[in-house]
Chains A and B, each alone.
Chain A
Amino acid sequence: MFNVMNFTKKTLAVTSVALGLLAAGCATAPDPSDEAAVQAFNEANDPLEPMNRYFFEVNHGLDELLVKPFAGYYNIALPAPAKDGIRNFLRNLHAPVILANDLFQGEGGRAGTTAARFAINTTLGVGGILDAASWFGLNYHDEDFGQTLAVWGSGEGIYLHLPLMGPSNPRDAGGKLVDYVLDPLTWVGYVYNVSWINTTRFMVEGIDTRARNLETIAELQKGSVDFYATIRSLYRQHRNDAIANGEDPEAALSKLTNDEMIPEDGAELPAVFLPVAPSAQTQQPASDDQLSEAY
């Protein structure tokens, strides 16, 4: 119970800080006559940007101070097979949540894979340390309730950069809570009063993930001219890819964002809507049928 109280107190404190920032933290909408700025503003869908950027900086500071050094030691101290063992073990602990979400999404085949992986890795894989299932072609996949909500038709909502958790949105943050409740280990922690298990898991996962990405993130940051905006964009694309289970997003969708958004010079309408627009063909490949109609 103490933990719950403590957690509630912390939550209250964080919430009050957040609300204070919120008051000062709303982004100002651009001049409505400025088409490009309005589009950039709407697309970013980040009305709390000043507050988000604040937490981004806080997280970045914590990362520099704590997470990154630990991740560095972790990399030096542990050989690759040991790190893989840790990750396999952590992934195996997630299997019940992944399985539940596979089922929620009606993905019978993937649910079967997750269940078989859990059975094989827990036994043959010595409690999950070895990814034995992958030897049989049963490869790991991730799934969470944020993705389930998306599959059920929920939009992502505004962008959020949360303390400790990093990039998110209301859908994914809500999904995390549901996953937490769905997770048998959460209940083991409460019932047997061993919630340190979950805290430890959270921390080790953070360190392991960070350690695997030390160079990637450093490179990304060095090359970026607005790291916050880069992360915001990458987070959304990464989630969309995860929701589509890594399957090829149909060309139609990417074309909408790529080309229709940028009208040909001098054309107010996207080129595809013009009756005959030879110059548009390179931009917007038309099917044979469409072409013969046009001519």
Chain B
Amino acid sequence: MLTRRTFVTAAAIAPAGSAINPVARADQASQGAFIGSLSQQAITELTSATTDKERAAKLLPILQKYFDMPKLAKHTLGLYWKRATPEEQTAYVAVFTEYMSAVYGKRFAEYSGQSLAVQKVRETGETSTVFTIVKGAQGEPRVDWDVNTAGGNNTITDVRVEGLSLAETHRQEFASVISSNGGKVQALIDILKKKVASI
């Protein structure tokens, strides 16, 4: 069976880049620290929350701060992005961000002291990938973070847990939803809204 160690561990992120390689260059260290500060903030704020609604509400601003949500949202629509009207695009980015907060916020309920350790940082032009492992989780799963460093701002554009990409998985899932609903992006927006309300 697949999904041995999947997105639960993606959410099980934790205190500051404790194991940053001392020889890493300064900017690489800064991207490692960026991921570290994300996990620090997420752990601090989400573990104090008691309900799933509260967790979602607390994760939302964190996602907006650390992730490039418009880009991620656009990616998950694939070619359907171009077909959506500007209103649909705006509505989609908003509901996708809420959906992410609801689905991934929930998983912090299971958090039990795991921590992220940065293994290395690879830079390719304006994209860096920060390779981390989750210490304290079974099998120490790998979590890779794609960070866009353009303009001196770090924003995350994808997360891969054991090679399973968040952006790709949602893109393929959403493509299936849209194509089984007559190619309408609005149908996906409605379904995501319902999902968010049900969590």
> Which residues of A pack against B, CB within 8 Å?
30, 34-37, 39-41, 43-44, 166-167, 206, 209-210, 212-213, 215-217, 219-220, 222-226, 228-235, 237-238, 240-241, 244, 246, 248-249, 251, 254, 257-258, 261-263, 265, 281-282, 285-287
With contacts A44-B172, A213-B1, A229-B177 known, is A220 near B6, CB below 8 A? yes
In the bound complex, what is the Cα–Cα distance between A122 and B7 (angstroms)?
34
Is the Cβ of B125 less than 8 Å from the Cβ of A40?
Answer: no
Interface size in chain B (residues, C-beta < 8 A): 56
What chain A residues lie within 8 Å of B106 (beta carbons)? 219, 222-223
With contacts A216-B6, A240-B163 known, is A36 near B176, CB below 8 A? no
A216 CB to closest chain B CB, in angstroms? 5
What chain B residues lie within 8 Å of A241 (beta carbons)? 162-164
What 1/0 mask marks residues of chain B from 169 to 199 whose CB sits below 8 Å from any chain A CB?
A: 1001111111110010000100110010001
In the bound complex, what is the Cα–Cα distance between A33 and B4 (angstroms)?
40
In the bound complex, what is the Cα–Cα distance between A167 and B2 (angstroms)?
9
With contacts A209-B1, A216-B3 known, is A237 near B164, CB below 8 A? yes
Is the Cβ of A39 less than 8 Å from the Cβ of B79?
Answer: yes
What chain A residues lie within 8 Å of B82 (beta carbons)? 36, 263, 265
From B20-28, B30-38, B42-50, B142-150, the one touching the partner chain is B142-150
B88 contacts A by Cβ under 8 Å: no
Is the Cβ of A237 less than 8 Å from the Cβ of B169?
Answer: yes
With contacts A219-B8, A223-B103 known, is A246 near B179, CB below 8 A? no
What chain B residues lie within 8 Å of A281 (beta carbons)? 125-126, 150
What chain B residues lie within 8 Å of A287 (beta carbons)? 125
Besides A30-B179, A215-B8, A216-B6, 16 more A-B contacts (Cβ < 8 Å) are A36-B82, A37-B179, A44-B172, A213-B1, A213-B3, A216-B7, A220-B3, A226-B174, A229-B177, A230-B173, A233-B168, A233-B172, A234-B2, A234-B164, A244-B163, A248-B122
A173 CB to closest chain B CB, in angstroms? 15
B131 contacts A by Cβ under 8 Å: yes
Is the Cβ of B8 less than 8 Å from the Cβ of A262?
Answer: no
In the bound complex, what is the Cα–Cα distance between A131 and B7 (angstroms)?
26
B53 contacts A by Cβ under 8 Å: no
A186 CB to closest chain B CB, in angstroms? 21
- Can you identify 24 A-B contacts, CB atoms within 8 angstroms? A35-B79, A36-B83, A36-B178, A36-B183, A39-B79, A41-B179, A44-B176, A212-B4, A216-B6, A219-B8, A223-B195, A225-B192, A225-B195, A226-B173, A226-B180, A229-B177, A234-B164, A238-B164, A241-B162, A241-B163, A262-B81, A282-B150, A285-B125, A286-B125
